[in-house]
Amino acid sequence: MLVLKTLVMEPLHGYGIAKAIHSSSNESIAIEFGSLYPALKRLEQKGWIDSKWEISEQNRRAKYYRLTAAGKKHLHQEHSEWQEFASAITRVMGGPSAAKK
């Protein structure tokens, strides 16, 4: 989900995705490239992302990944599921204080 979310804004190459997640989570989530790369391949297999060779800002050739329509749909679905789950957790965690009132 994180990878898909990162690609919503712009297409990125493998290393760029890792960096983007790292920075957008205020450096609290660090994904090792060793886990990220096979994950990218799996997402590509499922047809949620697409890849293309492009020239990077450093003027080097790199494979850029972008979100596909199916990927967008999936992200949307997963996002709402996550929100539901997260809010449920929040409710449970905040539960005792609510009961006291």
Partner 1 sequence: VSFWRKLRGLFPSQRAAQEREMQEELESLKAIAGKNELGNLTRVAEDARETWRWNWLETLWQDIRYSARTLRKSPGFTIIAIVVLSLGIGLNLTFLQLINVVFLKPLPVRDPETLVLVNIQNTFGSLTIAAMDELQQNTDVFSATIRSLYLPFDRQVTWQGAPTDTLNAFFVSANWFEELGIQPLRGRLFNDSGFNNADAPPVAVISERYWESRLGKDPSIVGTQVRLNNRPVTIIGIVPRNRGSLQGGREPHVWLPLAQVDYVFSGSRVAAEPTATGRLYGRLRSEISRAEARARLHAVVDRLPGTDLRFGHENHVDLLQASKRFRSPAATIGIWKIIGVCLPFTLLILVITCANLANLVLSRGVGRMHELRIRAALGAARSRIIRYLLAETASLATLAACGALVFAYWGVRLAAFVGSDLFQTDLSFDWRTGAFAILSTVVATAGVGLLPAWTIGKRNLALGSGDGGHQISTGLDRVRQRQILLAAQVAGSCLLLVVAALLLRTLQQMLVPPGFEYENVIVAEQLWRDKAPAFWSNLRQKLDQDPAVESVALFRHAPLQREERVERLESNSRVKFIRTPVEPEFFRVLRIPFLEGKPFSAADAGKQPIVLSKSLATQVYGATSAIGRPFADVGLVVGVVEDAHLTSPEAYEWPEVYTPLRETDYGGMLVKPRARSDAPRLVLEITQTMQNLNARVPSVRLLEADFADRVRGTKILAAILFSLAALALIVSCMGIFGTVSYNVALRRREIGIRVALGARHGSVVLLMIEQLVWPVSMAMIAGIIGGVIVARIFEANGGRFSPPDTPTMTLAALTVLMAVAFSCIVPTLRVLRSSNSRVLSS
List of residues contacting partner 1 (CB under 8 A): 13-15, 32-34, 37-38, 41-42, 44-47, 56, 58, 60-63
Q: Which of 34/96 has CB closer to partner 1?
A: 34
Do residues 50 and 63 lie in contact, with contact meaning Cβ atoms separated by under 8 Å?
no
Instruction: Check: CB of residue 15 under 8 Å from CB of residue 86.
Output: no
Q: What is the largest CA-CA distance in the chain?
A: 61
* Distance of closest approach, residue 55 Cβ to partner 1, in angstroms: 11
Strands (E), 1-101: 12-13, 49-55, 61-67
Q: What are the two backbone dihedrals, phi and then psi, of residue 75, each rounded to the nearest 5 degrees?
A: -60, -45
CA distance 71 to 4: 7
Residue 24 Cβ, how far from partner 1 at the closest point, in Å?
18
> Which CB atom, from 26 or from 58, has the smaller least distance to partner 1?
58
Residue closer to partner 1, measured from CB, 16 or 75: 16
Smallest distance from partner 1 to CB 89, Å:
31
Beta carbon of residue 67, minimum distance to partner 1 (angstroms, whole number):
16
